[in-house]
């Protein structure tokens, strides 16, 4: 059995995934904090691999990342073979699109909202089951 002293939390994986996703979306730590409910200070520590996040925060972040939890909570001290796996959420949800738009410094908030709304309307139509 794996050593009982060693942690089963893959902090590195989570931290890198968080930083990558956040920068992909052009969001600040406080933006992510608002969305996920995890404070910016904790997010900073996670991205830098300091300490071990508690279960609730791991759940919140993997949830936001749309990432399997078992990639962070190592089952059976598993193999650390898989490095940079880019999972992209199923499809661009209105939330993701809105984040991108809001992060675009070249757009006014109003424009960002307009485009978000536009996408949301289209999305709600396109994603409906075909009649």
Partner DNA sequence: GTACAGTGTTTCATCGCTGCAACACATTTT
Partner DNA sequence: AAAATGTGTTGCAGCGATGAAACACTGTAC
Dihedral of the CA atoms 18, 93, 39, 80 (nearest 10)?
-20
**Cβ 124 to DNA shortest distance, Å:** 28
Q: Is 12 among the residues that bind its own copies (CB under 8 A)?
A: no
Nearer to DNA, 107 or 123 (CB): 107
Interactions with DNA, residue window 22-61 (CB under 7 A): 22, 28-31, 37-42, 44-48, 50-54, 57
How far apart are the C-alpha atoms of 121 and 131, rounded to whole Å? 18
Residue 97 contact among its own copies, DNA, none, beta carbon within 5 to 8 Å by kind = its own copies
Sites of contact with its own copies (CB under 8 A): 1, 4-5, 7-9, 35-37, 52-56, 58-60, 62-63, 68-70, 73-77, 85-88, 92, 94-95, 97-98, 100-101, 103-108, 110-111, 113-127
């Amino acid at each position: 059995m794996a050593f009982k002293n060693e942690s089963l939390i893959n902090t590195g994986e989570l931290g890198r995934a968080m930083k990558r996703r956040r920068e992909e979306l052009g969001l600040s730590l406080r933006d992510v904090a608002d969305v996920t409910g995890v404070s910016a200070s904790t997010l900073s520590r996670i991205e830098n691999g300091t300490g071990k996040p508690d279960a609730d925060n791991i759940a919140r972040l993997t949830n936001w990342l749309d990432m399997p939890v078992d990639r962070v909570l190592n089952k059976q001290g598993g193999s650390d073979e898989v490095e940079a796996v880019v999972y992209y959420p199923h499809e661009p949800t209105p939330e993701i699109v809105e984040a991108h738009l809001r992060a675009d410094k070249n757009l006014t908030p109003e424009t960002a909202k307009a485009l978000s709304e536009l996408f949301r309307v289209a999305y709600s139509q396109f994603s409906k089951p075909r009649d």
